[in-house]
């Protein structure tokens, strides 16, 4: 079997570490694994396949000899390093939002549009975590009858804000219970025993940047340029795994029974839909695995062509690291 030299840009962060775990889990044919991060992380050692790999500094000449680079760094680093990665002859699978809406960069969810990978010019973008989870849940419905509109509300876990998010939630919870004060650092307000209806900055007519990603990225991934999405993103006091309530309208009516049949057979999905027996997707059940659970499927009572559903998925894995590794697998 041919082996591939793989780099991880931003290897010491939560997503970078998860990428290492998933490469090992999925037995990706790694020859050399090169871990790259900022100068302050140089010399740290991280475990991979029974070995300890030392972190190197991410700089212009760090990519020579690599075949694939998985990006887990912020936009400015991704933008700075991308030309050097491409020049070195590697393919950059980037988890930041820097290149997602670039018309020359494919935006890929392997269960939905794997063929788009063929159009890459050295960079492939990984979509937003909430977009990945939602579109994986509804892709089979869209294939059966094109989706025209989506109304979505996301309930996003604290780990979506990075490794510090769950730490702040747990420390803040302890402080509140003990009657002590706690100054939020990761979130703008107390997240313990609270929900915060803003993720991202003001982007378009009162919608945040996180909310607009569902429409803008959804159009590109699903190849639906006229898709209309109205989204509200909310941070909730959950450690891991995002949940999304979806109301969608399709061109032709899809019955509840047909929707269940389609979703049960869809790649990347698990149907969990038995209200009478209290069976439905929840963050605790969907954490630390790669399937998107879908349930609470029912007719929309305001639109004869509408369906309502609820889905949950691990945003660190399928919403970020696993999706990137799956894209890399398409390149083999």
**Mean pLDDT per 10-residue segment, the chain (332 residues):** 96 95 98 96 95 97 98 97 98 97 98 98 98 98 98 97 95 97 97 98 94 97 97 98 98 98 98 98 98 98 98 98 98 94
Crossing angle between the packed helical segments 14-25 and 322-331, to the nearest 10 degrees: 50
Q: How far apart are CA 28 and CA 26, in angstroms?
A: 5
Given this model, what pLDDT does residue 92 score?
98
For 99, list phi and psi in degrees, rounded to 5.
-120, 5
Given this model, what pLDDT does residue 255 score?
98
Question: Cα angle at 265 between 289 and 261, to 5 degrees?
Answer: 125
Single out the residue of 147, 141, 142 nearest to residue 249, CA to CA. 147
Crossing angle between the packed helical segments 129-144 and 209-222, to the nearest 10 degrees: 40
Domain edges within the chain: 4-127+320-331, 131-315
Work out the number of other CB atoms within 10 angstroms of the CB of residue 186. Answer: 17
Q: Which CATH architecture has domain 131-315?
A: 2-Layer Sandwich (3.30)
Q: How far apart are CA 66 and CA 62, in angstroms?
A: 9
For 304, list phi and psi in degrees, rounded to 5.
-65, -20
Given this model, what pLDDT does residue 1 score?
83
Catalytic residue set: 129, 242
Output DSSP code: residue 291. P
DSSP 127-184: PPHHHHHHHHHHHHHHHHS-EEEEEEEEEE-GGGG-THHHHHHHHHHHHHHTT-----
pTM > 0.85: yes or no: yes
Work out the number of other CB atoms within 10 angstroms of the CB of residue 290. Answer: 20
CATH class of 4-127+320-331: alpha beta
């Amino acid at each position: 079997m041919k082996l591939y030299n793989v780099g991880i840009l931003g290897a010491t962060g939560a997503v970078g570490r998860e990428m290492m775990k998933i490469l090992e889990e999925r037995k990706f044919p790694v020859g050399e694994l090169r871990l790259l991060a900022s100068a302050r992380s140089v010399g740290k050692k991280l475990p991979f396949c029974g070995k300890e790999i030392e972190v190197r500094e991410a700089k212009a000449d760090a990519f020579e000899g690599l075949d694939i680079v998985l990006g887990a760094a912020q936009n400015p680093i991704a933008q700075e390093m991308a030309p050097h990665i491409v020049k070195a002859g590697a393919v950059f699978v980037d988890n930041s939002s820097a290149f997602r809406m670039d018309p020359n960069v494919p935006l890929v969810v392997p269960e939905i549009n794997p063929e788009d990978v063929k159009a890459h010019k050295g960079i492939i973008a990984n979509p937003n975590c909430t977009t990945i989870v939602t579109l994986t849940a509804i892709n089979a419905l869209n294939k059966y009858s094109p989706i025209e509109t989506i109304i979505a509300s996301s309930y996003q876990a604290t780990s979506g804000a990075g490794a510090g998010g769950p730490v702040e939630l747990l420390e803040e919870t302890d402080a509140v219970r003990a009657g002590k004060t706690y100054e939020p650092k990761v979130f703008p307000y107390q997240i313990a025993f609270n929900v915060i209806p803003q993720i991202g900055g003001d982007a378009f007519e009162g919608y945040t940047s996180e909310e607009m990603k569902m429409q803008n990225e959804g159009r590109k991934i699903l190849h639906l340029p006229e898709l209309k999405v109205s989204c509200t993103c909310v941070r909730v006091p959950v450690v891991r795994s995002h949940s999304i309530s979806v109301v969608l309208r399709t061109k032709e009516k899809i019955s509840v029974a047909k929707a269940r049949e389609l979703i049960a057979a869809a790649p990347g999905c698990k149907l969990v839909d038995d209200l009478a027996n209290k069976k439905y997707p929840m963050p605790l059940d969907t954490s630390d695995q790669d399937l998107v659970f879908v349930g609470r499927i029912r007719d929309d009572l305001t639109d004869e062509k509408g369906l309502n559903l609820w889905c949950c998925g691990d945003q660190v894995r399928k919403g970020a690291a696993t999706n990137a590794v799956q894209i890399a697998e398409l390149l083999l």
